[in-house]
Structure 1
Amino acid sequence: MAELPVLPVTFRPSRTRAVLLTAGVAIFVVITTVAMLLEQLSPGERLSFVFTAALLCAVLFLLARPKVVADDAGVTVVNIVGRRRLEWPEILQVNLRPGDPWVFLDLSDGTSMPALGIQPGIAKQRAIEDARALRALAEAHAVHDPGQSEG
């Protein structure tokens, strides 16, 4: 088994995040600059340009938000608009199959939860390594039922 990462550890799509944050700032600056340079615009129209730029920037910042934070007690999954804290025993399996847009966590309540903080978009190899590390952490922290027979 590979060496476990030192806890706490944060998994996030760094390249995707950098692109989204840079694009958000660039869009805001360009639209705001255009609004200020267009002399025929009224103050209200300029304000609407700036508001629209801020809204577009905020959407891109939300898309850059996902991460998965693992610590000794469990995992915090931060997706675009939600956050959920999971204890290690709640995570039965960590899946990243070919073609999956991100990692899925199979949970003890019978549901599956997306973890957008590990996604193979721009950096596929990094996502695979992160998924393996999270899987190894989940397996290392799994609670084994002594009444269950293996095999």
Structure 2
Amino acid sequence: MFQARPRKVRVLSVIGAVIFVAVFTVVAVLLRNTPTGVYFYLSDQIAMVGIGVLIACGALMFGRPRVRADLDGVEVRNMLGSRRYAWSEIESVSFPDGSAWARLELPDDEYVPVLAVQAIDGEHAVAAMRELRRLRREAEAKAEPAAQAESAQQ
């Protein structure tokens, strides 16, 4: 089984999450000591830290994408959802020029973005594309004798 995840985006999302929590925590600590005449309470400070944690969780979602593939198909997990596709449903695995990430080409001009294979990862993305295409070729080669045997029975 092959699995790929984005590298640079994961690192950047973790760094961003830590920064968000740190900034909102500092703001929460300094919130009580403002000379503006507005009264801030402990609940306001806790809410500020909570908002920082929520924003950090949102930043971590950028590191969530993953692609898993085997001879049966491909599972694509992007930021919000996950779905498995059989190789028979996929027309090709492509990385269009100028695109930020790979995609699975489906029938009727539809496609599924594969956010786990990103151009910013350079050689890691190239290796992932090679492996996905190799698995697709092997799956097609495996399916051909089965299709021929089925047509011979009819």
Whether TM-score is above 0.5 comes out as yes
Q: Is 1:35 the equivalent of 2:35?
A: no
**Alpha-carbon displacement from aligned partner over 1:61-98 (angstroms, at most 9, x marks no partner):** 11111110113432110011111111222222000022
Structure 1 CA distance, aligned partners of 2:71 and 2:97?
A: 29
Measure, in 1, the Cα distance between the counterparts of 2:71 and 2:19. Answer: 38
- Return the structure number with greater helix share: 2
Are 1:129 and 2:127 counterparts?
A: yes
The offset of 1:9, in angstroms, is 1.8
Give me the whole-angstrom Cα distance separating, in 2, the residues matched to 1:73 and 1:109.
22
Provide the residue aligned with 1:120 in structure 2: 119
SS at match of 1:13: coil
Match of 1:21, SS? helix
| More displaced 10-residue stretch of structure 1: 124-133 or 61-70 | 124-133
The percentage of aligned residue pairs carrying the same residue is 30
Contact 2:105 / 2:111 at 8 angstroms: preserved in 1? yes
CA contact (8 A) 2:71 2:136 kept: no
CA distance in 1 between partners of 2:91 and 2:56 (Å)? 37
Structure 2 counterpart of 1:29, one-letter code? A
Larger radius of gyration: 2
Q: Which amino acid aligns with 1:43?
A: L
**Is the CA contact (8 Å cut-off) linking 2:17 and 2:57 kept in structure 1?**
yes
**Does residue 45 of structure 2 align to residue 58 of structure 1?**
no
Q: How far apart in 2 are the matches of 1:70 and 1:64?
A: 19
Structure 1 CA distance, aligned partners of 2:107 and 2:137?
14
Aligned residues: 139
Normalised TM-score (structure 2): 0.79
**1:1-151 paired onto structure 2 within 5 Å:** 8-40=1-33, 41-108=40-107, 111-121=110-120, 123-142=121-140, 143-144=143-144, 146=148
1-structure distance, mates of 2:21, 2:126: 33
Whole-Å separation in 1 of the counterparts to 2:32 and 2:107:
61
Cα distance in 2 for residues equivalent to 1:72 and 1:94: 14
SS at match of 2:117: coil
Task: Name the SS for the 1:47 alignment partner.
Answer: helix
Across the aligned residues of Structure 1 and Structure 2, the Cα RMSD in angstroms comes to 2.1
